[in-house]
Amino acid sequence: MAEKKRKKMIGSLQPNVDTMLEWNDLTAEDFAPATQGEKESFIPQRASISYWRDAWRRLRRNKVAMVALGVLVLLVLFAFVGPLIVPYGYEQFNQGAENLYPWHYSLEDQARLDEATGATGGTMEERVAAAIEQARAEAEAEGKKFTRADEAMIRAQVRSSGGTGAGAGSQEALAQAKRELGIHYQPFGYSIAELQRIEAGEKVFPHVFGTDNNGRDILARTMYATRVSMIIGVAAAAIVLVIGSLYGSVSGYCGGRVDAIMQRIVDVIYSLPEVLVILLLSAVIGPHITAFITDHPGALADFLRTVGPNLAAMFVCFAILYWVGMSRIIRGQVLTIKQQEYVTAARALGASGARIIRRHLLPNCIGQIVVTACLQIPSAIFLESFMSYLGVGVTQPLASLGSMCRDALAGLQTYPYRLIIPAVIICIMILSFNLFGDGLRDALDPRLKK
């Protein structure tokens, strides 16, 4: 047979007829059951790698994304485990520890400073009285009225500053005295009373980031605020995920007139500036929710009271507006997937539309869904901080990072750290979510890589 083999040109596409003819020459042995050894040789040597494991492997190689993930884990620990460690509550007023800086002087240094700056000797009451006298004299010299409100303000100022002296003049004197005496800051904030308690052998947890003008510990507040911001980001992404993927897949799967109408609705929503609409809605929905809370007591009302009407309005807005981007992406994906044979096969077998969407279409655009949802988190956090900063976000006593920045504005020049700390945390959080989302996109869908 060998010499009869037809000559075949190299690279010819002509099928090899001889081997095809041989397919028919089957003997009885060819129909014997396979032996154990033969069966085993069919089992692949390497365990098959699932979609997720493959993606994880690619993600792990992306250093930037892994660092971002590490930072995110740290932030989650900070927000959810941190409050268990810090003994102060986010709305706990620590009396006598108002307006602390995130640093302090030791008791001896404080005494030396007081001596050097001179004027602020004596007990607290004497200092308060002196400060009020001084302010009254100043006010009278300028021809202004010195009201009781002013007096109360100065009293609070002097007390809260722990006797280090208030006012710009004494600040300069303080700085000079510090330089002359060679006194340095000690890390973390303690009030004088707390320092005395430490002296007495008590253990006092420091105010690591200082306190605000009500004596609330900024570290504890930042932790709770980070928690609020994170929950909002993830919840918003979840809302967007559910609505966007459902709407997008239905629109893409149904096609035709249904698709056209659904897409016109998306177009209308898409061309609206979201922030504007959210501001509007929070102005309008807010009173409704407040009315609901007072009229309908119950678990839902309690929940709404905790989050506050503004925040509830914000969630409504996410549900109304933010899903359009997601739905467009899912629709585009579904449009290509629904042409595939397995979808036709499913339809031929009589599967309903809902089943095809649930079992065949959505699982096949899971990568896109995850990536879009992940990139939605930072934009939701961004938006929430923006709204809270404008005063239409979370309501007191709940704090978010944006509302902490807003609260810090009152004493911006004197206590800039109150703004810097939450602001930096927002930036780090959004940055890590962005970087991680980018990495996830590269890992889950390399085609999308920009």
Partner 1 sequence: MAKYIIKRVIMAILTILVVACVTFVLMRSVPGSPWNSEKAMTEQQIATLNERYGYDKPLPIQLLTYLKNALQGDLGVSLKMQKDRPVTEIITTMFPLSAKIGVVALVWAVLVGVPLGCLAAYNRGKWVDSLLRVVCTLGISMPGFVIANFLLIGLTGQDSLFGLKAIFDASQGAKAYFMPCVALGLYPMCYVARLTRSSMLDSINQEYIKTARAKGLKTGKIIFKHALRNALIPVITYLGPLVAFTLCGGFVVESVFSIPGLGRYFVQSISNRDYPIIMGTTIFLASFVVVMNLVVDILYRVVDPRIDLTKGGV
Cβ 106 to partner 1 shortest distance, Å: 27
Residues 197-226 that bind partner 1 (CB under 8 A): none
Q: Are 184 and 110 in contact, with CB atoms under 8 Å apart?
A: no
What secondary structure does DSSP assign to 29-67, as a single string?
GGGSPPPHHHHHHHS-SSPPPPHHHHHHHHHHH-HHHHH
Under rule CB under 8 A, residue 305 binds partner 1: no
% helix / strand / coil in the chain, to the nearest 5? 70, 0, 30
Q: Residue 163 or residue 233: which is nearer to partner 1 going by CB? A: 233
Q: Quote the least distance from Cβ 268 to partner 1, whole Å.
A: 5
CA 144 to chain centre: 48
Site membership for partner 1, residue 74 (CB under 8 A): no
230 scored as a contact of partner 1 (CB under 8 A): no
| DSSP collapsed to 3 states, 95-138 | CCCCCCCCEECCHHHHHHHHHHHCCCCCCHHHHHHHHHHHHHHH
Please select the residue that binds partner 1; options are 103, 386, 397, 411, rule is CB under 8 A: 386
Query: What φ, ψ does residue 156 adopt, rounded to 5°?
Result: -65, -40
Query: Min. distance of Cβ 449 from partner 1 in angstroms?
Result: 10
Binding residue for partner 1, selected from 28, 84, 276, 348, defined by CB under 8 A: 276
- The one-character DSSP state at 407 is H
By CB under 8 A, residue 291 contacts partner 1: yes
Shortest Å, Cβ 171 to partner 1: 10
The residue among 215 and 422 lying less far from partner 1, judged by its C-beta, is 422
CA count, 13 A, side-chain hemisphere, 434: 10
Q: Among positive and negative, which fits the CA dihedral 224, 226, 227, 232?
A: positive
Instruction: Tell me: does residue 277 bind partner 1 (CB under 8 A).
Output: yes
Residues 6+ away with beta carbon under 8 Å from 372: 240, 241, 244, 325, 326, 329
Nearer to partner 1, 117 or 403 (CB): 403
Quick note: the x/- pattern for partner 1 over 393-432, rule CB under 8 A, is: ---------x--x---x--xx--x--xx--x--xx--xx-
Q: Does 447 interact with partner 1 (rule: CB under 8 A)?
A: no
Query: Mask 340-379, x = binds partner 1 (CB under 8 A)?
Result: --------------------------------------x-
The secondary element (H helix, E strand) that includes residue 187 is: strand 186-187
Q: For residue 214, give the DSSP letter.
A: T
Does residue 267 interact with partner 1 by CB under 8 A? yes
Number of shown-chain residues binding partner 1 (CB under 8 A): 44
Q: Which is nearer to partner 1, 88 or 253 (CB)?
A: 253
189 — phi, psi (to 5°)?
Answer: -95, 135
Between 132 and 313, whose beta carbon lies closer to partner 1? 313
- Of the pair 288, 355, the CB lying nearest partner 1 is at 288
DSSP states of 149-174:
HHHHHHHHHHHHTTTS--SHHHHHHH
CB of 407 closer than 8 Å to CB of 395: no
Q: Pick from 74, 152, 268, 448 the residue near partner 1 by CB under 8 A.
A: 268
434 is an interface residue for partner 1 by CB under 8 A: yes
Rg over alpha carbons for the chain, rounded to the nearest Å, is 34
Alpha carbons 240 and 244: distance in angstroms, whole number: 5
Task: Give the residue, chosen from 110, 213, 263, 364, that forms a contact with partner 1 under the rule CB under 8 A.
Answer: 263
Q: How far is the CB of 182 from partner 1 (least distance, A)?
A: 24
Q: Is 275 in the site for partner 1 (CB under 8 A)?
A: yes
The residue among 89 and 332 lying less far from partner 1, judged by its C-beta, is: 332
Determine the longest span between alpha carbons in the chain, in angstroms: 124
Q: Is 280 a residue that touches partner 1 (CB under 8 A)?
A: yes
Please give the residue ranges that form the binding site for partner 1 (CB under 8 A): 263-264, 267-268, 271-277, 279-284, 287-288, 291, 378, 382, 385-386, 389-392, 402, 405, 409, 412-413, 416, 419-420, 423, 426-427, 430-431, 434-435, 450
